[in-house]
Structure 1
Amino acid sequence: MRRAICLATALFLCAICEAAGQSADSGPATKQSVIVAIRPPGAGTVSGQGNYAPGSPVLLTATPAPHYFFSHWEGRVTNPSSPRTHVYVGEASVSLTAVFTREKIRILSRVEPPSSGTIEGAGMVARDTRPVFYAHAAPGYEFAGWDGPVTPAKAGSQSGAKTLPGAQLARPLTAPVTVTARFRPVEQRCRVGLSVDGNPAGGSVEGAGVHPRGSRIVIRAIPAPGYGFNGWSRVGAGPDAPAGIADPGATETTLFVTGDIAVQASFVPEKALVRARVSPEGAGKVTGDLGIRPVNQAALLAAEPAKGYVFAGWDGPVSENSRNKPVTTLTPAESKAYVVTARFRPAR
């Protein structure tokens, strides 16, 4: 038994010696490289790069160049957000990236008048760049121009949907600046339609056309002969809608243009009263177009003598061509009462 134990021990010691001999024959472990790239190029430096034995902890320190800041590490490091970190070397080379960001400077934006639009592109911007700005007009305004250290830039397209006026810094940004976009109200033009309500022969209107929104224009209603003006009214508006007509009963008045608007003028035929008398009383009668009659429309009148009388003539505004005839005409020229007299004399 003791002999067997000694033999096993001897074999184990031989195996250890053989392994040690093999290790000694392989030589020292191969060192691995630690390589760090800089992004963007020239933005900083990194110390600690080199060749290290496997298992070695390596301290890396990132130092930004002027006007840059350290951002983060890309790769397997112990603290990706710290400029001082460690990396452990394994059986292969290590490749890392140190990322830096450019110092940013504030660009202030201003619009005139206030709330007339906005500026796109202002804010915190990287130093030594020449950013482009775009002007967005608010509803009812349009772009008028730029103020500040800028030069006009080619109009830019926003997602291909619309084209905006652009401007670019005249020089690379090295200090805070203010950029101003000026806007002006858009002159909105509205269509004013005028028409004649009812009988177009009653008259005509003036003042229709395209006019600036917010303006006051003069509108006129011109009655035709035999017609009188009966007032202005909005087309398609309710009774409580603001018409914008200064004096709806005047033939000439002003209209406040608040949008596209249609206005009608109403004309009505003028009326006259035609009356007839007989002289002497009871000597006859007058028949025909007596009573309320349209102006400028001839009224036909006939004188009929009573028994024992004959017609002698007409007195009053009758036609001169038929003044001595039993049948005559009277044409009212204006809205008033007209009186004619039929004269008779005893028959011989």
Structure 2
Amino acid sequence: MFDDPSLRFWDAEAAIWERTLLAVANPGYSFLGWSSTPALTFSPSALSSLTISRPTSGSSVTANFSTNSYNLETQHESNDGSVSSSEGNFSHGEIVSLTATPSLNKDFSHWETIKSNDYTVTMGQSSIFGSLPKISIDRRESPSLNLVRGYTYQFNVQLEEDNPFYISTSEYNDDTFADEYLGGVTNSRITNGVLTFSVPINAPNQLYYHSAKYSYSGNLIRILTKSDSHVLPHPNDSEIQVAIDHDIQLKAVFKDEEHKLSITSNNGGSVNFSEGIFPDGATVSVTATPDSHYNFVRWEGNDAINGVTNPFISITMTEDENIRAVFAPVLYPLSVSTDPALSGVIETTNNQFEFPYGTEVEITLYPKSNYTFTNWSGKVTNPNAKTTTVLIESATEIVANLTQAPVDLAINPVTLSVTGMPMEDPSAGGTIEVPDNAKVGQQVLLQAVAKEGFYFSGWYHQDGKQLSSAHSTYLTFSADTSISAIFNQKSVSVKIAVKDPTTGKFILNEGVDSYTELSIPVPLGEKMMIHSLAAPGYEFMKWTIFGSGIRTSGNKTLELDATTDLEVEVQYRQLIPKLSIVVTPETSGFIPIGSGEKNQNGPHIIMAQPLNGYKFDRWEGEGIENHKNPTTVVDFNVDSSIEAIFKRIDVEYPISSSSAISSREDWIETTWFGYYFWNSSLGNWMYHESLGWTYFYKQAQSINQHNTWLWINDWEDWIWISEDFAVNGGTYVYSFNRGWLFLDFVNQIKYSFSSAQWEQM
């Protein structure tokens, strides 16, 4: 820049044409030298920021600057963590972000400013005037340097042997080193080696570096005042931003991961420390100490120590921990009792019996009935008052003393009958021996003796509760009491039942009520009378008695002695009506089936058979199904009488004349009853080819009636035959003695249904 900007233009003929020029580099830039067109002369040098030139008409002078770059370097221990950044060269005022990331089990500690830097010093050529030598700093053409007070810089000098490197207070260098600056400088004027510059706090704000051989080959050194907080406003943050205005070296410092241990406690004790910072994995011993009259209860905190009751523990630090020691007051027992025992109730404050040291406890005695309070034994405030206080300083025992009062006893016998009702004479069941009075809590002897036929049930309180079942017992009373000594009449269980309730009932003793079933208790040894009562249509059959054994009786009235449990069963049977059949006229016929008791297994069949010279006419009477059929059924429920009426006939017919086939004289062949010989001279006799001599009764003249009774002389038996029961070559017949038979006239054999066998005819 000109010495006076207003004089940048002038009249070269009339005005002074020699001008002084001064170039001042802005922060972040370095002045490199002057250039002009046409080429002008600069004094003392075109490389000097302050120079004099004689411009000519139309001259142009240029001040040449270069941009400074500042180096940012970071350091860290690779095993401890890493740093992410754009490490390198940056422009003046540029903001650079850095992030420090710790490794496993490590924590970030802080950023550290490294207050030193190294530069390499060599000789190079001016980029403006190639013939002029220039000092090169880290291969940069004579840059201006920003150095910080308190920092140390090392210049690794590599110059010719006759060209020493040094620091000066003046931009101008000469051979006398008159302006050489030596504050904090080691090895000044070195040509090949290290010049060390520890920037003093009182160093001037501007210095210069030079080579002695070549004038104006160096440049400006700005001396900056920078506190650590200016360089690193937040050194403890792992993520920072750095403003670049000089060369900076930073170190990310990591440390072993640390954890905070905080320990608290409630009232009643203390711990050996309250908090601390410990490395990861460190083992820390913790102690809880209770105060007097307190106990250590437990630790609270992480899962490893929750509920631990040992006051001495060790904790391995793997994370921040907050633990708490819990103390509780020692609870001293207050033991209270009564003398005599159970003669009263003692209540305390809130009905508690354990208290911390120094607690004043109120106690109150409530005597039981028939006991009176005397005094307290033990350390109480007022031993003669039912309500007093106790000061708890240790385990304490207090006794309430009481005296007994007498009780009145009313003890009476009661005798219950087998029905459970009291008997008129309360002493009928036994006698008792008891006292008239007693004292509260005193054992009293009670005795009971049962009479014959009775047993003692027990001693019962007036509220019905059984006190004892023993004949002789000791009881204790706390108040006036009424007691019953209960005797019970001995009994046996008697169960009476009708086997079939529809057939009848029974009456007990001289009663009027009748029963089909009854279960009652009966006094032991009592006589009983049970009367049978048959239903209409039934009659008494028998008694069956189950007791110590089984026995029966056919008497309608049963007499028993109740000496054991009994079960009695009465059985009735149905009355079977009888049927009487009268034949009219007499000797005109007979009744082979139907007279007598009614058939119980089916219809009652009646049959009328005419004698010789008669035929059946009809039945007369009630309940007959078919009055015209000689074989029919009759229904009756009481003894009854009916009449079978026959009529006389004049002509006799042989058996089954309607189906008879005459094969030879007087021999008759039938389709169902074989061969037989007959003529009128034989009357009712005939000779049967298979059966021999046979006497027959002809029943009817009708051609459709082919049935009769035959007397088989060889069998000495009557048989009843009917063509209705015939099959080819044979017939079913009914034998009066043998029952039903089948006669096979073809094979001359017969089958007996009663014996289930075939026999020769």
TM-score tier, shorter chain, comes to 0.3 to 0.5
Between 1 and 2, higher relative CO (CA 8 Å, sep ≥ 6) is seen in 1
Q: So what's the TM-score if we normalise by structure 2?
A: 0.23
Between Structure 1 and Structure 2, the one with more helix by share is 1
Point out the structure with max Rg over C-alpha: 2
